[in-house]
Structure 1
Amino acid sequence: MTTTDRAPAPVRGAARALSPALVLAGLLLVAGNLRAGITTVGPVLAELRDDLGLPSLTASALISLPLIAFAVVSPFAPALARRTGIERALGAGLAALAVGLVLRSLPGPALLWIGTALLGIAVAVLNVVLPALVKRDFPTRIGQVTGAYSAVQSVFAATAAGVAVPVAAWTAAGWRLPLGMWAGLALIAIAVLAPQLGRRTTMPADVPVHAPPAGRTPWRTALGWQVTVFMALQSTGYYILITWLPSIESAAGIGATAAGVHQLLLNGFGIAGSIACSALIARFRDQRFLGVMTPVLYGLATGGILLAPQYSALWSSLAGIAGGCGIVLALSFFGLRTANHTQAAALSGMAQSIGYLVAAAGPIAVGALHDATGSWTPALAGIIGLDVVLVVFGYLAGRRRVIG
């Protein structure tokens, strides 16, 4: 059975009178908010630490807090969407995000932590609910729309990181301005979503709001776990490289300027990978080829960094393509492997909860392994081992079937 065999779930009122272009614009603006507030922190972290007197461990916890919030909150986001409707859940998430961004930019160390935690909670809701919106409103274009919003997410994430330091130098507010200014993007997204906030999705008749039928919850299905493991391992590999690639290259004798360029290539080719994967999803009968090729590219890139670090520009670009393809594929599976948007939200919550929990632990484990051995070789070999496992789960999750 394919996802196109079922009609989209009915919605109340004048939902269908809304322009698809307006719905898509709102969806893409929500996507633009998913990472901008997070990637802003890294470039100004040194200034923030000096200003507040934070030790390195505490600063690291500040960066990890949103990922932990993703893991904790994601399982509960589908219940919020069922109770309030998809549109209102997105609106509430954006409003909470705007408040969190403003709070963390205000004076007072406590507000920094409260705002960051609220940001993580808000983005967790948006992360989980957005694939359900794609499943409901674009059921025959899941791969293309997912690729588009993943690319927009990456563009805003890269832009936020790139302008953080220059913006911090504009005023006496320093690092507080770039940390808070992206609240404006959340408010713009709310304004574009406003025509949709009056509608509320009616749940499919075969999936009651409070008690999905036995066997239909992804937590009790092999396919649900296959998608979840794929999401977790592809996220882990990507976050490990994002976190430790500069240090790995420094140990190999590569200068800081070149390492910075390689990070730019990693992010830039990630956008290209997102776009390419979204186009390819529609061309194949199933996604087994993409599910296998993504970890193969990861493995080649990691092996290249290990054996020939002098060509890290090439390996970073290859890893970026794999990373962009991996996240689009994982997000697309939430719609492609489910029968309706309610089930898509449930699978999204499951996979993202476990996925981000594993992803948050991955860089810490790699750092500990390096400290214990004094070398990056065991860590890189471990990433290649993860890629081998990911090949298996990419193949399994890529098969043409749906939960239930």
Structure 2
Amino acid sequence: MTSTASVPLPVTVPPPAGRRRVLAAWYVGAGLLLIAINLRMGVASVGPVLTAIERSLHLTPSAASLLTTIPVFAFGAFAFLTPVLTRRVGLHRLLGLTMAVLALGIALRFEPQGWALYGGTVLAGAAIAVANVLMPAAIKSDFAHRVGLMMGLYSTMLFLSAAVASASVVPLMVAFGGSWRPALAFWALPAVLAFLVWLPRALQNPGHVRVAGRNRAADTPSEAGEPRMTALLRDPVAIAVTGFMGLQSLSYYAFLTWAPTVLQDAGVSAHTAGLMLAYSSLPGILTGIAGPAIARRIRPSWVPVLVVVVLCMAGFVGLAVAPAAGAWVWMTLLGLGQGGAISLSLSYIVWRSPDARHTAHVSTMAQGIGYLLAGLGPLGIGLLHTATGGWTVPIGVLLALLVVQGFAGAAASRDRHVLARGAAPDAPTRVSR
């Protein structure tokens, strides 16, 4: 009998083509996450210095809130242009273009003219709007086998970027001699970096296909097989996903805009208020990255929605009752709740869509209509604060809207696809008890 000890074991070496595919996947994933980290910096950096902007430009609270309201409305309004732009430019090239426009819009804040501040805000909002819609579709297309992981990482990058910008903008303002303009314009640099990193992917020419008598980039989706927006607008699953996206965004941007002011009105310094806002993103990172994976396993499916809504409610009640005394507790609760809410809302866009084409259109509807609704948050809370002279009524309205958010999220959590009857084919198996 021949001894097997003398037989050399084969050494498995991945073929060069396989290694290239792995490296390409890592590059695309890193590029997408670098783009994602830019999608909140330009907005989150405004809240901690909003009081300084008010004093510098002699603005009322309502007028100042436009600086955070305009981007959110832009997120909704410009989202509806994304399908048309994607067909003409291509998904990956359009993502690169959004970073160039975002960098320009943020850099305009350095210009001392008032039109530049508000005009740059519109440009930045438009760029983020298109990128917001493209990201779930890109993840569904490029990482269909790792959707849960990538959506968790995507949500994490959103909260991480908000944390970095909120914590750094006041020290930057001090470093720039007390001027808020260069402190806000500084956040154009990460967008430039994302553009440069993504540029090879954006310039990659996959060839052209001929459709309906005209050339179009091969990474551009065709209209064949795409759902009609009119059908989605009547679909209960798409409506629930849109409602949950809009209401959680309204809560988040109202908090992002006015939480530092609530704390400052209670005697907290501007620097500490900015740090607290930044800190709230840290617990949000935990629920953001873990939320989708946990939500796929918990039954009933509405339980994760209930948890994040209750966490947000507890945080807002705390801000209304004892904003300064328990600030760290309230910011922790709000961070946990909002981190989980945004990760769930983005995941529902992907989970309730059977393919990347449906994902793009559900994303357009959910983020377009959702962010138009969300834009009412900062503006409405500012108007209520001006009218009542306090924060009790504005926070009470946010609590009432959280109840509606809970019902929308419960409906969105059901394992169904848009424009289809019955359970989604990829619905998780129920755990037997």
Larger radius of gyration: 2
CA separation of 1:160/1:260 partners in 2, compared to 1, >3 Å: closer, same or farther?
Answer: closer
Among 302, 306, 316, the alignment partner of 1:292 is: 306
Measure, in 1, the Cα distance between the counterparts of 2:138 and 2:162: 21
> Is 1:267 equivalent to 2:272 in the alignment?
no
- Find the residue that maps to 1:98 and give its secondary structure: helix
The match for 2:371 among 335, 356, 364 is 356
> 1:5 matched to which residue of 2?
none
Compared CA separation, residues 176 and 134, structure 1 to 2 (3 A)? same
RMSD: 3.0
State TM-score, norm by structure 2: 0.79
Give the alignment's TM-score, normalised by structure 1.
0.84
**Which residues of 2 match residues 170-319 of structure 1 at below 5 A?**
170-171=175-176, 174-197=179-202, 198=204, 199=206, 202=219, 208-209=222-223, 212-213=226-227, 217-248=231-262, 255-256=268-269, 262-284=276-298, 287-306=301-320, 310-319=325-334
Deviations 1:99-131 (A, max 9, x none): 222233234333333222111111111111011
Once the 2 structures are TM-superposed, how far is the Cα of residue 402 of structure 1 from its aligned partner?
1.1
Deviation of 1:390 (Å): 1.9
Match for residue 27 of structure 2 among 10, 16, 22: 22
Alpha-carbon separation, structure 2, partners of 1:262 and 1:333: 29
Whichever residue aligns with residue 322 of structure 1, its letter is G
Give the total of aligned pairs.
386
Matched to 1:117, the amino acid is: V
Which of 46, 62, 70 is 1:65 aligned to? 70
CA contact (8 A) 1:217 1:343 kept: no
Distance 1:311 1:162 in 2: 19
| C-alpha deviation, 1:201, in angstroms | 5.3
Contact 2:100/2:192, CA 8 A, preserved across alignment:
yes
The answer as to whether partners of 1:298 and 1:319 remain within 8 angstroms in 2 is yes
Q: Are 1:341 and 2:356 matched, yes or no? A: yes
Would you say the 8 A contact 1:70–1:121 is kept in 2? Answer: yes
Residues 157, 305 of structure 1: CA spacing in aligned structure 2 closer, same or farther, 3 A cutoff? closer
| 1:33 match: secondary structure | coil
Task: Answer with 278-287 or 331-340: which moved more.
Answer: 278-287
Aligned counterpart for 1:384 among listed residues 393, 399, 419: 399
Q: Which amino acid aligns with 2:78?
A: V
Structure 1 distance, partners of 2:110, 2:241, is: 37
CA distance in 1, matches of 2:366, 2:314: 26
Distance change >3 Å, CA 183–CA 201, structure 1 → 2: farther
Superposed CA deviations along residues 196-224 of structure 1, whole A, max 9, x for unmatched, are 222455567xxx52783558952231111
Maintained 8 Å contact 2:152/2:289: yes
Distance verdict in 2 for CA 1:259–1:133, change over 3 Å? same
Please state if 1:165 is matched with 2:166. Answer: no
Q: Distance in 2 between matches of 1:129 and 1:394?
A: 22
Unaligned runs of 5+ in 1: 1-14
- SS at 1:19 equivalent: helix
Counterpart of 2:347 in structure 1 is 332
Query: Take 1:378 and 1:47, find their aligned partners in 2: how far apart are those partners?
Result: 25
* Inter-partner Cα distance in structure 2 for 1:43 and 1:128: 27
Contact 2:88 2:220 (C-alpha < 8 Å) held by counterparts: no
Shift of 1:83: 2.7
Rounded Cα–Cα distance in structure 1 between residues aligned with 2:88 and 2:149: 28
Give the corresponding residue for 1:9.
Answer: none
Per-residue deviation, 1:41: 2.7
Does the 8 A contact of 1:39 with 1:160 survive in 2? yes
Does residue 1:39 correspond to 2:53, yes or no? no
Match of 2:102 in 1: 97
Structure 1 262/113 Cα, relative in aligned 2: closer, same or farther at 3 Å? closer
CA distance in 2, matches of 1:256, 1:29: 32
CA deviation string 1:283-311 (max 9, x = no partner)? 44784322222212222333444456543
Q: Is the contact made by 2:86 and 2:220 (CA closer than 8 Å) also made in structure 1?
A: no
Q: Share of identical aligned residues, percent? A: 36
1:125 aligns with 2:130: yes
Shift of 1:249: 5.2
Deviation at 1:72, TM superposition (A): 1.0
1:18 Cα deviation (Å)?
6.3
Distance 1:99 1:286, change over 3 A: farther
TM superposition shift of 1:388: 2.0
CA–CA separation in structure 2 for the residues paired with 1:286 and 1:23:
35
Preserved contact between residue 166 and residue 278 of structure 2 (Cα < 8 Å): no
CA distance in 2 between partners of 1:333 and 1:230 (Å): 9
